Amino acid sequence: MTADEPSDETIVRTAAEAAEGLIFSRYKQSAVRDFDVTVSFEDGVLEVDVYLNAPDDEDGPDPDQVADDAALAAREAVDDLFDE
């Protein structure tokens, strides 16, 4: 890691915050029964796993799609960190 690169802790925190932010941009916090965002960054490899237990209403977003989008948002946020 060079002085210009973000720390592993910063990478993990940024990814987790981005995933959580996306979840709560699609659902009210009170509507989410449970969620878990697991992020690891080891040897330059980012792994993001999002579990979401939220209502699957016809009128609302699809929880599986939101979980996938949250993982993607986490990866994009980390990409942005390295682009700075």
Architecture of domain 8-83: 2-Layer Sandwich (3.30)
pLDDT in tens, 31-77: 999 999 999 999 999 999 999 999 888 888 999 999 999 999 999 99
CA gap 56, 70 in Å, rounded: 16
**pTM exceeds 0.85:** yes
Domain ranges of the chain: 8-83
Residue 29 has a CB neighbour count (10 Å cut-off) of 8
End-to-end Cα, the chain, rounded Å: 15
pLDDT in tens, 1-39: 566 789 999 999 999 999 999 999 999 999 999 999 999
